[in-house]
Structure 1
Amino acid sequence: MSKRLDAVDRRILYHLVRDARNTSAPEIAEEVNVSGGTIRNRIAQLEDAGVIRGYHATIDYQRTEGRLTNLYICTSPVPDRDRLSKQVAEIPGVVGVRQLMKGRSNLHVTAVGDDMQELNHVASNLSSIGLEIEEENLLQSEQVLPYHKFGPDESRDGITITDFMKLSGGAEVVELPVSASADVAGLTLSEANERGIIHPNVLVVAIERDDTILTPRGDTTVRADDLVTIFCRGGIDEETLEAFGQGSR
């Protein structure tokens, strides 16, 4: 099942792909104006959801005593593709396996060898398990880049998150879990606003409920155990925290 991402999730993914080793949670938190703890929690959620599948070093094998990296473009019978890709991963020298949703050339294999003899041995192993090698080439270089729509220039109707913050007078973005005893629990957002429970300077921008991200509307009811993301113009105060049942920060 796919996971819906909000602006914070997207920015996390952008920075982790760009440079996971040298990017800290506080650095991402400062950019999107949330706490470092929120970023760490979001990373854990993205890992649990299978969006972040691992963290890997990018290695230039040519700089390791002149080793060669080869790309094999193979065809697997579609019903056997999953099984064969697992077998390919066990072949010595293979460092990457990619499946494509197509009939031919549907399995791309990357392998490293000390010389062409070792790479030829990998090719023989691929053929022996039932793959047809359509093409092979030595890799010169490869880059992994972050998706630009997850980055700092991401926009919504022409207004960036940063622009919104400026227009809001430096608003603070906060995630608050709703406790069962919270004043807003069981109320619609309109009711909470009319009763003065949610301050006019507080804008509810997202509600996460049971792995679903809801777009808040006036008739949206806030429930206990919801995770609510709010923009607070001028910063969050104790009154707002208490409204969501959180007390002192």
Structure 2
Amino acid sequence: MTHPNTDHRLDDIDRRILYALMQDARNTAASIAEEVNVSGATVRNRIRKLEANDVIRGYPVHLDFERAGGNLTNLYLCNVPVPEREALAHKARAIPGVINVRTLMTGRENLHVLAVGETTKDLQRVARNLSQLGIEIEDEDLVEDEFFSPYTPFNPDVEQPTGQPNDFISLTGEANIVEIPVQPDAPIAGLSIEDAVAQGILDDDTLIIGIERDDQELTPHGDTVVEPDDIVTVLSRHGSGDDDDGLDPFCTPETSIR
């Protein structure tokens, strides 16, 4: 299976949204927004981008087939020639009763097929169909249950202090590109960029190069007003040390980055 968009760079907001969806795909944009401290529109916009870049590839429903009619779930561990692996996976998926097919990079059992049937005869039929495709079944077993967990590195179990950057890219020459949410009480909130410069809130070493507002990507100009909850992309030439206060205009005073 090809993955044309493999260079999509996740930031902290993306990771926290993905973690919430992996916990429960039924989580609403509003509930995720409350956890991530952004607007619901921003969450919906981020999800659309993650879907468009094939980071999110679907929302499977986890069913208990035994409770849904006493059905049996069987896992077939199969071996197929590597050059034919993808084509045979698609053919296996078309067999009635097959609900999931997983391909593995290495090993003899490089194709896993999950199927559901009302009786053992249904599962035997699936096995025959797999064999007719030239798929060699190495082993099989009835599945009692299946458990899922979200990806731990995406877990925001240690909350970032409010106003900390979502993403950080270090450039040469002690310059950094930082993505940070604008806090409601931040000095720049409600001001245009030119007013913020005139009042000394923004200095010559801090340049706003992008603004994400709900589902919009804005190109900032002098008269652009920076609003609370905007996610701004900032080019800062303050360096990356602890004394970097180039992001203070976007934070509440008590959480300014020092």
Identify the residue that residue 144 of structure 2 maps to in structure 1. Answer: 140
* CA-based RMSD: 2.4
Identify which of 3, 14, 22 aligns with 1:17.
22
1:90 equivalent in alignment to 2:90: no
Contact 1:74 1:132 in 2 (8 A): yes
Structure 1 pair 161–130 and aligned structure 2 pair: CA distance change class (3 A): same
| Alignment-derived partner of residue 33 in structure 1 | 37
What's the offset of the Cα at 1:29? 1.9
> CA offset at residue 248 of structure 1?
6.6
Structure 1 residues 141 and 2, CA, compared in 2 at 3 Å: closer, same or farther? farther
TM-score normalised over the length of structure 1: 0.70
- Matches of 1:20 and 1:119 in 2, distance apart? 29
Question: 1:238 is matched with which residue?
Answer: 190
2:108 counterpart residue number: 104
Instruction: Quote how far apart the aligned CAs of 1:232 are.
Output: 3.9
Q: Report how far residue 114 of structure 1 moved.
A: 0.7
Q: CA deviation at 1:45?
A: 0.6
Counting only pairs closer than 5 Å after superposition, residues 64-213 of structure 1 correspond to structure 2 as: 64-153=68-157, 160-162=158-160, 164-165=161-162, 171=163, 206=167
- In structure 2, the partner of 1:188 is none
2: distance between equivalents of 1:232 and 1:93? 51
Q: Which residue of 1 aligns with 2:11?
A: 6
Point out where structure 2 has 5 or more consecutive residues left out of the alignment. 1-5, 195-207, 209-219, 228-258
CA-to-aligned-CA distance 1:66-103 (integer Å, 9 cap, x gap):
11000000000001001100100110110000000014
Q: Mind listing any 5+ residue stretches in structure 1 that lack a counterpart?
A: 154-159, 166-170, 172-202, 208-213, 223-227
Q: TM-score if structure 2 supplies the norm length?
A: 0.68
Higher helix proportion: 1
Deviation, structure 1 residue 149 = 1.6
Equivalent residue number for residue 195 of structure 1:
none
1:59 lines up with 2:69 in the alignment: no
Instruction: Calculate percent identity across the aligned residue pairs.
Output: 46
1: CA distance, partners of 2:144 / 2:107: 27
The amino acid that maps onto 2:78 is C
CA positional deviation for 1:65: 1.8
